[in-house]
Structure 1
Amino acid sequence: MKRSVSALYSTYIIDGTQMDYTPAQMLEDCMPAAPGKDGAGNGEFDSIVDEIVDPAPRKSSYNAADIQEYLHRIRQIKGRARSGAASFPKSYTCRKIASALIPVIWRKGHFTLEDLGIDASWRWDCAPLGNMAAFYFSAEAAGRYLFGLNIRLDSYSFEKCAGETEAEFSVHAETMKDGKEDNEYDFFSEQENREIRYCWLSDEAKCGDTLVPDTASWLIYIPFDTCEYRLGDSLFEKAAGVSGDNAPEIQDPDYFIDCFEVVRELVEDGVIIAGATVGEGGLATAAAEMAGDTGICIDISGVERAAGETDAIRILFSEVPGVLIQINDEDYDYIDAQLLLQDIAYFPLGHPSGKPGFSVVHGNRPGVSDILASLIQGHYSEGED
């Protein structure tokens, strides 16, 4: 008698090769205690047989002179569902996890990355060829990335959904609100001879997300991964009607941890006066939205030079996770020291103009970022040691 299949608990045979683990087994490696559900990899379900379907190759054609038009189109479609989950399941999944974690960095509270937990859910169209293979690799990427980030997975679910293929990750932390000040939450217990930490997380933001009108202040870009800038699975491709590029291979959790913890400390200490998440829509979209009525012209030549990238569109619209921070001029040397101490690449993009508007300067020319060139090039060519 034919048995049923389960997206989570069936074994998978992809391109003729049986996978070693079920999606549930890979995800439960990130959970504090395995739920021990019956049927997980014990042969209760029939195998799922599928194959990898690569995106169709196409030439892309776009013009760096049309940045403002691309920005306008992207902002019109931002937040809508797109198809990258099936085309680039690994990079899509890591990007979604990073994009869920980074916005928490701006909130009031006292916590570290390890204090956060994630709930994962997949709504998946199981019918098209290649989609179940894509789900398998999405679950695999989620398990590996969360394990590397040392973040606990508190729950996961799968829902079969015709015509819809996406993954969602929601972040939370145990909260403790008893009126104490931030610095009262850590204490040392001699009896247990270990540090006991209490974390708390507010829904309120610690800093604003639009530029403060201080023309002496700095806008700094910090990418949270060392991957190359690519346009696959980006809003830019959808807005410009192009395709064919690979997606950014987001896969450096150690570097993400370093970036998150340093920026979080700066936020908590009040050094950052405004901050924005670089995610959906890329660097240009985040900077344009952050500019508000204050305005800014960003210079990305340092990013181009460090990444060895001559295509400004890739730098501006690739959805490599990261942040934009605004700092006071007098704090620049302190920020420089903190980031270099942790071997974190950063890029000064310029100063607020004081006039509404957003523009971009690009081109591989010398600039203020030169001192970081060897450090950054090491990240992009070799990754984190």
Structure 2
Amino acid sequence: MDWLNFFLADVRDGLGPYLAIYLLAVHQWQPASIGLVMSLAGIAALVAQTPAGALIDRTPAKRAVVVIAALLVTGSCLLLPLMASFSLVALTQTISALAGSVFAPAIAAISLGITGPKAFTRRMGRNESFNHAGNAFSALLAGGLAYLYGPVVVFYLMAVMTVASIIAVSRIPAAAIDHQVARGLGHGPAGDAAPAGFKLLLHNRTLLLFAVCCALFHLANAAMLPLVSQKLSQVDLRLATPLTSACIVAAQLVMVPMALLVGAKAEHWGRKPFLLVGFLILPLRGALYVVSDNPFWLVGVQLLDGIGAGIFGALFPIIVKDLTEGTGRFNVSLGALTAIFGLGAALSPGIAGLVVQSSGYDAAFLTLAGIAAVAFVLVLVALPETHPRSSDTPTVMPTPAGN
């Protein structure tokens, strides 16, 4: 699992901010067009999230799903240098986004199926720490190789990481995964209960409120790094990819200890204190980006992303597990919430791109910071502690409703 998370880190998010650099530097696309392609891919991903979670709940072939998805993501990105039209680029990135939608529920399900709920928090902290370490490693390679050979090299680096991911997932014994536990049911006789009906999940107000908070978080967060990449491209086009890699590496190196801290302490300190810190960092980061256009300042501010995203990434599946334990709907709930916050992430680049064209980069960063501030206030005043030992957490009990 450690190596799978390490190597899959470069594959699961596709090209990410490198897509913006590639389209801007190689094809001279406008920021609004870049944002639209990224938004279309994001919308495709969010439509697929809930079905992807349902698939992972049902299938015992979770490892095979990871392999197929990794091949589709990489194949779609490898085709990108062969095309320049808006429609074809949008098509390849949509396919990549659709395939990538299975990674989060698949990794979470495999982890829960191996460890069980009691050790899941620590395992997710470890998953996220290796994921961030893998992102930092691949970003360092991408930055160095792109400086020497151009931005197209990131496509081939992804192919290498895909092969390594396939080897890693094949080394996980199939028998080690309890597929009933992996979907949020109990082990043994407790796992024979029917999964809860979907309507019961829709009546879980804490789950729905958490979904809204996540959507606002990603509406504010998703466009920030692509905007920084575009600003860096205007300063020095040749250094844009290496400096973007430096931003990613800086954040990922901070995310590693943050994820480990969540995994080690969230059982003792609770979930909400960590969540508040993660949500507070985002508006601060958006406001600080407007202070200076100096590349070193921008890379330095990106360190704050390591705190916010490191905490959120580790806590997200843990909180969903808290709120769905015993229902048998863990992965479909994870997929549904990922779809909801994916809506925010999909809209973010398009909104930011329009603001950039009308009012400039500073206005876009301040707009995103304002959205992030609303999300923080909502977490502070409305979201209860979700730890199972908290009396504030509404309990969702399974019912013998059909699938």
| TM score, norm. by length of structure 1 | 0.29
Give the number of the structure whose residues are more often strand, by fraction. 1
Give the number of the structure whose residues are more often helix, by fraction. 2
Q: Which has the higher contact order (CA 8 A, sep 6+)?
A: 2
Higher Cα Rg, which structure? 1
| TM score, norm. by length of structure 2 | 0.28
